Amino acid sequence: MWLASEQAQEVTGQAIGLGGDRLTLYSHPAELETVDASEGWDVEALGRTWQEQLASKAQPSGMGPKPDPTEHPAGAPSGDRG
Domain presence at residue 9: no
List, for residues 48-71, the tens digit of each pLDDT value. 999 999 999 887 766 666 667 777
Chunked into runs of 10 residues, the chain (82 residues) has average pLDDT values of 89 86 86 93 95 89 68 59 45
Please, is 49 exposed, middle or buried when counting C-beta atoms within 10 Å of its C-beta (0-12, 13-18, 19+)? Answer: middle
Q: Domains in the chain: how many in total?
A: 1
Domain presence at residue 46: yes
Domain presence at residue 66: no
Rg (CA), the chain: 19
Domain presence at residue 73: no
Does the predicted model carry a pTM greater than 0.75? no
Fill in the amino acid letter for 8. Answer: A
Domain presence at residue 77: no
Domain presence at residue 67: no
Residues of the domain holding 52: 35-59
Cβ atoms of 39 and 47 closer than 8 Å: no
Closest CA to 58 of 32, 36, 35: 32
Domain presence at residue 70: no
